[in-house]
Structure 1
Amino acid sequence: MNPLERYAPLVDDREAFFDACERPLPSVVRVNTIRSTPDRARAALDEEGVGYEEVDWNPELLRLDERGPGTSWPYFHGWLHGQEEVSALPAIALDPQPGEKVWDSCAAPGSKTTQLSAMMDDRGVVVGNDNNLGRLSALRHNAERLGVTNLVVTKQDGRNFSLKPFGFDEFDRAIVDAPCSCEGTIRKNPDTLDQWTLEHVHSVSAIQKGILSRAVQATKPGGTVVYSTCTFAPEENEAVIDHVLETEDCEVVAFDCPLESRPGVTEWEDDEYDSSVEQTHRIYPHLNDTGGFYCAKLEVTA
């Protein structure tokens, strides 16, 4: 059975959902405002003869007519960065401010990390963490190409991340774009589901709970933590939020999602989740012609 069949009851238009999952994903780039502006980047693409259309909800995102972003000089010079449209959402929900201390717990290869730095005008500090050395080299390469200077790179297990190397003991904000079963990336990686097992969903859910718990603990009272995945599985989404609401000092807060979305689910199979998860957002491929995604915003309460 196609693993996506298990999520059909959650989707309002089953046929449109499955059709969208089989189409290739549009090629999207984010304008890197550390090195350029949307106007200059668009002019450069015009000069290069690269066709594009603006994403209506964010002027810094452009859908390219050609596949892959790395074929033009604006990309090589760090004016553009390939980033899936929906993956720009977590940083926007987090809303980091210049001068703040922000933790990206699962940072590599760095699309969201460098987006955070750009939103902060490359001021303050972004701690980009990952536990995979190979992926960290990609993070460092991307940060260098994009001109990011406020990034500190660390290699730790996010579940027991230590702030001892730093001169501070809490973050203003944190983002957990968690490792997941990646079901929502099927348009980009059609073989994603070939290795899919329910056992993996449950095992990665335990890791997600640990990383998100640590993010809440490491963030100051009144601070913000954003959690996101590219999977449809409630075990990896609402169940993780429900767990952290029970075990840590935090609450779900509503945020305006600029993409069409559906509310988080409060029931799945034999489980029930805290009613506040309805304020989280599920994004299905057929709603905005994107990948599948989930995003939740938390406020630390103590």
Structure 2
Amino acid sequence: MEIRHLQTFQIVVEEQNLIQAAMRLNYSQPTVTKHLQHLEEEVGLPLFEKVDNRKKLTKTGEILYEHAKNILNELYTLQKKIKENKGEKQIIRVCGLDDYCDRFFLPQIIHFQKKNKNVLLEVYSVNSSDDTLKKVIHNEADFGIISGRPLPSDISYHCIDYDDLVLFASREVANDPSKKEEYLAKFPVLLDHRAPFIKFEVLKKGAQFPNAIHCDSDEGIKSAVLNQPYLGIIATGRIKKEIASETVTILETYSSNVPIKLIALTKNLSNPVFQDFYSLVSKASGS
């Protein structure tokens, strides 16, 4: 059973879409399909079944998925320890939305590297907090910053700031919050369809949108709303500059003080270097 086949299987299960899984893995779609076929041949049982025209894991698939996650996590930990034993530079990988990386990671990385010259830091930008959480859970990143997501028990976190979840528009499209219903009837609303937290907060307010367009990128939502006749749902941290310069209008606030969290796998914080970085970013927030 090849590691790359297990990696492909894990990503396909999480993305629930072959095309998105192929993009994330940087494989062609036929290669992804072939990896899954090889796994099924080795296991001797189907890993997926069709239910209501959707692919779902079989019982065998569920068992393999749980074990594949553990195997891949242990493999990463082993590779990291071997590198440390060789005296190679330790790598810390961090990820988050562009704005979160700029606000919380980059200012502290400068201070951290001055004291830890044998540590390399890699910063990755992602499209959503859900992508960040996935990367940390699956050891594709050591630290992440997310907003408003429930966390599994094996994740440690520290609240480093707070955001509001809002419906917004450019001033050119909408400049009077009292006319919100009129704007909703006239313009499509962009929202991240992969973020259960956003759906929950919007539904809790009883909001309904005649024309909703699902988008899986906060940056895409922001850019479209600023440049086209759209409304959008976003965390205020993504549009702080625009709010300050009054180039956007906040039409409604769905949730206030949404926590922004620094996250890491709890087991990784047993590494003193990781613990130092976690403490530095946590303390710098003043939370």
Range of TM-score over shorter length: under 0.3
Structure having the higher helix fraction is 2
Q: 1 or 2 for the larger relative contact order (CA 8 Å, sep ≥6)? A: 2
**Which protein shows a greater Rg?**
2
TM-score of the aligned structures, taking structure 1 as reference length: 0.27
TM-score of the aligned structures, taking structure 2 as reference length: 0.28
